[in-house]
């Protein structure tokens, strides 16, 4: 299922053009791309957000979610070693998000 975020994506791109140092704008765009299964692009935007402000819990959370989705894709494709690595990375990103913002909701945090 692909979500239709066209108008929102246009607006967030405008926001990024107006302020290239807005970590939350990059997070919003990353969320949109991740929702459309563009996990690698989403991760790159999270990296940009974290370069601007490494205390952006949302960037850590979204990146963790993307990594978890990549892990699931790898499991489906039979690449269990790569899936395990992505799961491990995802947990690290989520842990960082929680350390910054203890109340942040982590929708995929089911494995310990």
User: 61-80 pLDDT, tens per residue?
Assistant: 999 999 999 999 999 999 99
Average pLDDT over residues 38-53: 98
Average pLDDT over residues 13-29: 97
The residues spanned by each domain of the chain are: 6-100
Going by C-alpha positions, the residue among 4, 38, 22 that lies closest to residue 13 is: 22
- What pTM value is reported for the model? 0.89
Q: Which CATH class is domain 6-100?
A: mainly alpha
Q: Are 45 and 29 in contact (CB under 8 A)?
A: yes
Token pair 């692909």 in the structure block, residue: 2
| CA 29 distance to own-chain centroid | 10
Average pLDDT, the chain: 92
Which pLDDT band holds residue 109 (cuts at 50, 70, 90)?
A: low
């Amino acid at each position: 299922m692909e979500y239709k975020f066209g108008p929102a994506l246009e607006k967030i791109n405008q926001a990024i053009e107006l302020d290239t140092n807005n970590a939350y704008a990059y997070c919003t765009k990353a969320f949109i791309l991740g929702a459309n299964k563009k996990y690698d692009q989403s991760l790159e935007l999270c990296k940009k957000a974290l370069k601007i402000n490494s205390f952006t819990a949302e960037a850590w959370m979204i990146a963790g979610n993307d990594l978890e989705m990549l892990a699931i894709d790898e499991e489906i494709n039979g690449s269990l070693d790569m899936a395990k690595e992505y799961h491990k990375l995802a947990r690290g990103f989520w842990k960082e998000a929680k350390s910054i913002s203890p109340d942040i909701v982590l929708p995929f945090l089911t494995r310990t």
